[in-house]
Amino acid sequence: MATVPVNCPRCRAQYSMVAVSERKGGFSGGKAVAGALIAGPIGVAAGALGKKKTTYQCRKCGYQVEV
């Protein structure tokens, strides 16, 4: 699990990062292969399961980072 950035990597402002958007990751071929090996054809659906990605933006300089 990723952690929320506390300091901006660019300007080093403390506690300035705020969440601005979230999205789900796309299809993963590696997960599909692993799922197929473990659970057969039904496991291929595991490739469609993605991670939730959150974009954080610095309130001071506007820098964005996706975690």
The answer to whether residue 6 is domain-embedded is no
The answer to whether residue 56 is domain-embedded is yes
Helical segments of the chain, H only: 29-39
pLDDT recorded at residue 67: 86
DSSP state of 41: G
Taking only the tens place, the pLDDT of each residue in 14-51 is 999 999 998 876 666 776 777 777 877 766 666 666 67
Structural domain count of the chain:
1
The answer to whether residue 46 is domain-embedded is yes
- What is the pTM assigned to this prediction? 0.61
Contact call for residues 57 and 66 (beta carbons, < 8 A) = no
pLDDT at 2 over 70: no
Contacts of residue 16, defined as CB under 8 A and 6 or more positions apart, other chains included, come to: 7, 8, 58, 59, 60
The answer to whether residue 59 is domain-embedded is yes
pLDDT recorded at residue 60: 96
The answer to whether residue 49 is domain-embedded is yes
Task: State the pLDDT confidence band at 57, using cuts at 50, 70 and 90.
Answer: very high
- In the structure, how many helices (H) and strands (E) does the chain have? 1, 3
Range of the domain at 61: 17-66
The answer to whether residue 51 is domain-embedded is yes
pLDDT recorded at residue 23: 84
